């Protein structure tokens, strides 16, 4: 925009329009081209604007519409949303703006195709897959998205009321005029560790017990309605159950009957947590931790039991050996031949340990007579 003598020169390119005003009042809109306007007092002003896929000020549009409604209708398209209404504005086929309720946007329509899709969100809060794709780059606070995994249950709440259980996948909801919440619950088995609990046994011995429980949610709707925190609730139940069970048992009963203790705990906890839609698959005592002095006493008792058992085994072996010797003696008594063989066996073992043997024969006997006496077998006496 330049002045030359008394003329105002304005050049408007393709895709542009120029708002020509005199003393702040709109005179007309200049189309693309070169314009020479008589302006001796320099009262004219030309504002060149881009009109391709462009917005126009809503406030200026309101003023223009009041002064020149014909011009406003020719050049602009105003999009206004109502309560409980969402609008998706597409310029030349491309979604550009997501409009929330009670919002106004004004677009130049002289060089742009404008499409407006209005969505009534008062009845159904779900966002369709097509709409979700259209507003992918134009998200705002009016859309809440949730992804439910295959191992999860998704519960949809609208204004605090359970509406439905969502299938695994991606879900989106309009939050206009309502509170939307999706609670996701993991349906896989979960381990809950119950840390060391200090308690007294029936015989007034202090000890600490750690436990492990495995639980899984089988009724998500009931679980959410009855239990604010599943793991905390299970922790308290197990804590109360183990205290009650240990208080009714002596230390020996706790240490020796662990299987019975585990079964009692499972029955107690399952009966009380089943109404919350939770299943306890396993529950048992992991460790029993005794005080130092009690642990030493228990170790001594265990050691004494081991020594006694070892002594018993040794005595049993000695008894068996003695019984075997007795049986052997009886056989030798009844069979002289067997006795003589035993003597020769002993003599053989003795000779193996002697380096030299001197044999003396008396009464003029020779070596043959001596050997004959050594190996002579006593004949059985005749009856």
Confidence of residue 383 (pLDDT cuts 50, 70, 90): very low
State mean pLDDT over 17-21. Answer: 87
State mean pLDDT over 267-291. Answer: 89
Confidence of residue 379 (pLDDT cuts 50, 70, 90): very low
Does residue 124 or residue 59 have the better pLDDT? 59
Pull the structure tokens for residue 305: 């039991």
Per-residue pLDDT, 237: 92
Looking at residue 335, what DSSP letter applies?
-
Token pair 């606070």 in the structure block, residue: 141
Q: 238 to each of 127, 278, 283, how far by Cα in Å?
A: 43, 14, 9
Does residue 76 or residue 356 have the better pLDDT? 76
The pLDDT of residue 162 is above 60: yes
Domain boundaries, the chain: 2-116, 121-186, 190-290
| CA gap 33, 47 in Å, rounded | 14
> β-strand 143-148 against 169-174: which pairing, if any?
antiparallel
| CA gap 222, 275 in Å, rounded | 8
State mean pLDDT over 88-117. Answer: 91
Per-residue pLDDT, 366: 58
Instruction: Name the class of domain 190-290.
Output: alpha beta
The pLDDT of residue 339 is above 90: no
| CA gap 169, 151 in Å, rounded | 11
Tally of CA atoms within 13 A in the half-sphere of 323 that contains its CB: 6
- In terms of average pLDDT, the best of 140-149, 297-306, 357-366 is 140-149
Per-residue pLDDT, 23: 85
Q: Which helix (H) or strand (E) holds 312?
A: helix 292-334
* Range in 72-76, 85-89, 350-354, 366-370 the model is least confident about: 366-370
Q: What is the pLDDT of residues 229-241, one digit of tens each?
A: 999 999 999 999 9
State mean pLDDT over 63-72. Answer: 89
Residue 1 contacts by C-beta under 8 Å, 6 or more apart in sequence?
8, 9, 10, 45, 46, 48
**Residue 253's CB: how many other CB atoms inside 10 A?**
17
The pLDDT of residue 77 is above 90: yes
Confidence of residue 373 (pLDDT cuts 50, 70, 90): low
State the first-to-last Cα distance of the chain, in angstroms, to the nearest integer.
Answer: 160
The pLDDT of residue 364 is above 70: no
The pLDDT of residue 382 is above 60: no
Write phi, then psi, for 236 (nearest 5 degrees).
-65, -40
The pLDDT of residue 329 is above 90: no
| CA gap 127, 198 in Å, rounded | 53
Token pair 């085994």 in the structure block, residue: 313
Q: What is the pTM of this model?
A: 0.62
Per-residue pLDDT, 213: 94
Contact 46, 30 (CB under 8 A): yes
Q: Residue 141: which of 184, 173, 116, 186 has the closest Cα?
A: 173
State mean pLDDT over 78-95. Answer: 91
**Residue 347's CB: how many other CB atoms inside 10 A?**
11
The pLDDT of residue 376 is above 60: no
* Range in 17-31, 45-59, 317-331, 343-357 the model is least confident about: 343-357
Confidence of residue 67 (pLDDT cuts 50, 70, 90): confident
Q: Residue 196: which of 286, 108, 116, 283 has the closest Cα?
A: 286
């Amino acid at each position: 925009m330049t002045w030359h003598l008394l003329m105002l020169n304005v050049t408007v390119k393709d895709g542009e329009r120029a708002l020509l005003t005199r003393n702040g009042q709109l005179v007309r809109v200049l189309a693309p081209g070169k314009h020479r306007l008589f302006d001796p007092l320099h009262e004219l002003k030309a504002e060149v604007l881009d009109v391709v896929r462009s917005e126009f000020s809503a406030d200026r549009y309101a003023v223009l519409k009041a002064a020149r409604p014909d011009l406003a209708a020719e050049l602009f398209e105003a999009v206004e949303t109502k309560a409980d209404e969402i609008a998706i504005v597409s310029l030349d086929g491309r979604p550009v703006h997501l409009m929330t309720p009670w919002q106004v946007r004004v677009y130049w329509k002289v060089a742009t195709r404008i499409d407006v899709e209005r969505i009534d969100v008062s009845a159904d809060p779900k966002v369709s897959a097509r709409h979700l794709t259209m507003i992918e780059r134009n998200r705002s606070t009016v859309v809440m998205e949730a992804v439910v995994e295959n191992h999860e249950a998704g519960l949809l709440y609208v204004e605090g009321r359970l509406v439905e259980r969502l299938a695994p996948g991606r879900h989106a909801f309009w939050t206009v005029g309502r509170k939307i919440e999706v609670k996701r619950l993991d349906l896989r088995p979960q381990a809950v560790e119950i840390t060391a609990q200090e308690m007294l046994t029936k015989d007034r011995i202090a000890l600490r017990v750690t436990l492990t429980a495995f639980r899984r949610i089988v009724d998500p709707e009931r679980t959410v309605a009855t239990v604010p925190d599943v793991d905390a609730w299970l922790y308290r139940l197990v804590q109360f159950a183990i205290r009650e069970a240990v208080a009714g048992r002596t230390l020996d009963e706790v240490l020796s009957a662990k299987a019975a203790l585990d079964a009692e705990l499972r029955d107690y906890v399952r009966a009380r947590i089943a109404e919350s839609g939770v299943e306890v698959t396993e529950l048992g005592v992991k460790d029993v931790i005794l005080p130092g002095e009690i642990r030493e006493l228990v170790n001594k008792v265990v050691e004494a039991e081991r020594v006694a058992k070892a002594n018993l085994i040794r005595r049993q072996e000695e008894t068996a050996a003695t019984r075997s010797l007795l049986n052997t003696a009886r056989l030798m008594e009844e069979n002289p031949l067997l006795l003589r063989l035993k003597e020769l066996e002993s003599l053989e073992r003795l000779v193996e340990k002697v380096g030299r043997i001197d044999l003396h024969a008396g009464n003029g006997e020779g070596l043959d007579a001596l050997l004959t006496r050594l190996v002579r077998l006593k004949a059985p006496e005749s009856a």
